[in-house]
Amino acid sequence: MAHYAVVNILKYENNKLYFSDDDSTWDEIGPHTITGYPKQNELMIWFAGPGVDKITGIDFDSDDDFVNPPRSKFGKRLWFVKVKPNATVGDEPKYTIRFKDEAGNEVEIDPKVKVKPAGGG
C-alpha cells in the first residue's frame, strides 16, 4: 500500500494548462515540464481544477515504472497511478493528459514525471 502521494491540481486558463500541489502556486505545463516527483511505491494523483471540466485520459509512453496504467474516479475528475516499488530511479516517463475545458473543447499536452527513490528526500 502506498503511504504518500504526489498530487497535481490542474487549472486551465487563457489557453494554458497549469498545475499546483497547494492550490495557490501555479506553474505552466509544457512538453519539458516535470509535474511531479513520485517516489517508488507512491501514488501520483491528478485533480480537475478550475477551468478543467474533466480529464478524459492520461497515458504514459511506457507503463514500465507503474503497477497499472492510470485510472479515473469520480466522473473523470480524479486520476491516479501507482509507481512500482522497483521503478527505475531517475526515469522521466513522458505522458499525455487529455481533458475538456469548461467550454467542451478537447485539449492535450505532454509533460513528464521523475521517479525518486523510496524513503527519505
> Which whole number is the average pLDDT over 24-30?
94
- Superfamily the domain 5-109 falls into: Cupredoxins -  blue copper proteins (2.60.40.420)
- pLDDT at residue 8 in the model: 93
Tell me which amino acid residue 118 is. A
Q: Beta 71-73 vs 43-48: how paired, if at all?
A: unpaired
Q: Look-up: residue for cell 511506457?
A: 62
Which cell numbers in the block locate residue 91? 526515469
pLDDT in tens, 46-84: 999 999 999 999 999 999 999 999 999 999 999 999 999
Domain spans, the chain:
5-109
Which cell numbers in the block locate residue 5? 502521494
Of the pLDDT bands very low, low, confident and very high (cuts 50, 70, 90), residue 120 is: low
Does 111 have pLDDT greater than 70?
yes
- pLDDT at residue 69 in the model: 94
- pLDDT at residue 119 in the model: 78
Q: How far apart are CA 80 and CA 94, in angstroms?
A: 15
